[in-house]
Every structure is written in structure tokens, then in C-alpha cells.
Amino acid sequence: MSKITVWSADGPKQAIQAKETEVGPLKADEVEVKVDFCGLCHSDYSMWTNEWGFTAYPFVGGHEAVGTVSAIGELVEHLKVGQKVGVGWVSRSNLNSPESLSGDHNLSAGNEMTIVGRYGGFADTVRCQSVWAIPLPDSLDIKSAGPLFCGGITVFNPMVQFDLKPTDKVAVIGIGGLGHLAIQFLNKWGCEVTAFTSSPDKSDEAKEFGAHHTVSSRDSEEWKSLRGKFDFVISTVAVDMDWKAMTATLAPKGRLHFVGVVPSELGLRVGDLMSQQRSISSSPVGAPQVIATMLEFCARHDIRPQIEVFPMSKINEAMTHLEDGKARYRIVLENS
Ligand SMILES: NC(=O)c1ccc[n+]([C@@H]2O[C@H](COP(=O)([O-])OP(=O)(O)OC[C@H]3O[C@@H](n4cnc5c(N)ncnc54)[C@H](OP(=O)(O)O)[C@@H]3O)[C@@H](O)[C@H]2O)c1
Ligand SMILES: [Zn+2]
């Protein structure tokens, strides 16, 4: 038994406070990571507020943790104590499931999630099955690397899964934690990038991230000039929009892909898709090897999350900052 400090809430939207808790022995296939920095994802906010109805309290969020391996289980051979790693949304998979055996660990049934029914990375240490602790390339800036482990991989993975081409015209809806990384990835991938935003003041920065065009996400009248344009649209927003009008911006064989958790049903008809062979899809995070590939891509192209750092002790203020839509563009909590 050892004691760790976690930042925990006893109920929906209740104050998040530091407390000491006992953790059992490290499992043979696990690693323990001393958390230096942990990103704050919108999903931490949704879990804290129990928006999705399955939060277990006391709740400890944090699934964009980076730090140093502080202990390894007896079966772990590929990681060493002292190595820099990151831990994202998934903390354990059945390695013998057909999905894991095909390299799609993120799709494996029964995956354990880092902040669901267990303690996440808003803590001084976090544990996971060793396959889900991904080594950081040496050249990556550790302070800003955390958000790649959920926000980053969630938007990078669809680019790989759907074989996006450098000649594709792509749109990103919402310039937040996920969206500002999607713009950077897609630009370096070679695509023509359009950013849909509800915040006119983000337009200049969106262009610095690599957007070639920006459009209002609030006014679907503005979208009429974009009809039939996009090969791929990725939605990172957690709000309802006029999805029928958005579907009309897809080129023949175009795809509208959801990674943001939209609250209502989409209100689309098959006829909106059929005549142009359009598709609708969605995906969760990404598999360990795709995360490693993304980290390499970031190191090569000097892609990094734009972060605002709060001390872990100011986690409640950080939640309010995110709730108010003020984060530019990802909050990272730093352990002192
Ligand atoms: N699929 C997955 O595996 C996965 C992984 C991580 C997160 N998520 C989900 O992805 C979503 C985004 O997460 P995030 O961390 O990127 O959140 P975030 O940083 O809060 O960004 C969301 C963005 O949505 C836009 N937005 C907010 N309110 C809006 C409104 N009323 N109308 C139009 N646009 C609005 C804003 O961009 P603009 O200011 O540019 O409009 C905002 O920056 C959440 O639903 C989260 O739970 C899913
Ligand atoms: Zn997340």
C-alpha cells in the first residue's frame, strides 16, 4: 500500500479538493507515472458535472497526463523508471480482444477509461497498463505535450483511419482544445483547411495555426457558398448545430466526422447523404501505435498545443475558465 494525493470532487460540480488516498500494489503489467503536467479536456468538465450520467464520485479527472515513470510492474519490459511518458483516456485494454489484436485497442470492448470509476491524472501519480503509457520523443516539450494524449490523438486518429489526402479540402468545427490541434495537423498534412468558429476573435489565431479560411459556425446562411466543397469535416463542438446544412457542404463521397459529443440527435435523413454518397461517422481517441505516430509527427513539424498553465491547486478556477469558453486553447495543470 502507498499513499497518493488526488484532486477529487464528491458530487456534480462540487469543489475539487486535494486528499490523500491509499492505492494497492502495482499490478504486474502496470506502470506508475509521477504526473508533472495534466491537460484539462472538456470531457473532464463533462464528467465532473455528470453530464453523461455515468460519473462515479468521488471523481478524479485528468486524462492528458505527462510525467516520469516512477515504478514498473514485474512483467513490464519495454519501459524504464525515469522515462518520460504520457497517459490518455484509456488506461487498460483486453490485449487478446480481436480489436487489440488488430491494433485497434481504442475500440476494444470493456476498455478501462482513466477517469471512469478510477482515479485519473489530477493527482501526484497515475497508473495504467504499460501499453497505454506512451514514451515521449526527446525533442517534445513536456510542459505542452499532455493535451496531445486526448485532444491531439482524437483529431489525428481520423486522419489516419480515413486516409486523408494532402489534396483534400477539410473543415474543422470549433477552435478549442481539439480544434486548434486539428488545424495544425491538417495544415502540415497538406490539406486546405477551413475553420468554423463561433468566436470572431479567434480568426487571426486560427490562421496562425494553419487555417486557410475561417467561417462563422453560428450562421448557416454563410455556409451556402460552401456547398459541395469539403472532402472531410471534423466536428469538435459539444453543441447542436444545423447538421443538415453542414452535410450540404460535403463534396461527393465527403464525410462529416464527429469527435465532439453533441447533446441531441442529429436530425438527418438518409436522403441528405445518399445521392452524393456522403458519410457520417464518429470515433474515440486512438490506439497506442497511432499515438506514437502522432507524437513523432508533432516532433518533426514542431506542432504543439497552445496552453495556459494553472497550478494544480487552482483546478477549480481552471474549470471555471474552461466553462466560460476562455481557454486559449488548452489548460494544463502543473503539479508543484
Ligand atoms: N471522441 C473522443 O474521443 C473525444 C476526446 C476528447 C474530447 N471529446 C469531446 O470533444 C468535445 C470538445 O472538447 P474540447 O476539449 O476541445 O472542448 P473545448 O476546448 O471547450 O472546445 C470546444 C469548442 O467548441 C466551440 N463552442 C463552444 N460553445 C459553442 C457554441 N455555443 N456554439 C458554437 N461553438 C461552440 C468553441 O470553439 P469556437 O470558439 O471556435 O466556436 C470551443 O472552443 C467535447 O464534447 C469533448 O467531450 C471527445
Ligand atoms: Zn479528453
Is the CB–ligand 1 distance for residue 200 below 6 Å? no
In angstroms, what is the span from residue 23 Cα to ligand 1's centroid? 33
Question: Rounded to whole angstroms, how far apart are CA atoms 225 and 223?
Answer: 5
Domain covering 153-282 in this structure, CATH number: 3.40.50.720
Is the CB–ligand 1 distance for residue 262 below 6 Å? no
86 in Cβ contact with 133 (< 8 Å): yes
Number of residues that make up the chain: 336
Give the rounded distance of the alpha carbon of 225 from its chain centre: 31
Q: Which ligand is nearest to the CA of 260?
A: 1
Is the CB–ligand 1 distance for residue 147 below 6 Å? no
Q: Please name the residues in contact with 269: beta carbons below 8 A apart, sequence gap of 6 or more.
A: 244
pTM: 0.98
**CATH architecture of the domain with residue range 2-149+286-334:** Alpha-Beta Complex (3.90)
144 in Cβ contact with 307 (< 8 Å): yes
Q: Which amino acid would we find at residue 327? A: A
State which ligand 1 atom lies nearest to the alpha carbon of 258.
1
Question: Rounded to whole angstroms, how far apart are CA atoms 295 and 73?
Answer: 25
State which ligand 1 atom lies nearest to the alpha carbon of 322.
20
In angstroms, what is the span from residue 271 Cα to ligand 2's centroid? 33
For the chain, the structural domain boundaries read 2-149+286-334, 153-282
Can you give the pLDDT of all 336 residues of the chain as single tens digits? 689 999 999 999 999 999 999 999 999 999 999 999 999 999 999 999 999 999 999 999 999 999 999 999 999 999 999 999 999 999 999 999 999 999 999 999 999 999 999 999 999 999 999 999 999 999 999 999 999 999 999 999 999 999 999 999 999 999 999 999 999 999 999 999 999 999 999 999 999 999 999 999 999 999 999 999 999 999 999 999 999 999 999 999 999 999 999 999 999 999 999 999 999 999 999 999 999 999 999 999 999 999 999 999 999 999 999 999 999 999 999 998
Question: Rounded to whole angstroms, how far apart are CA atoms 263 and 280?
Answer: 16
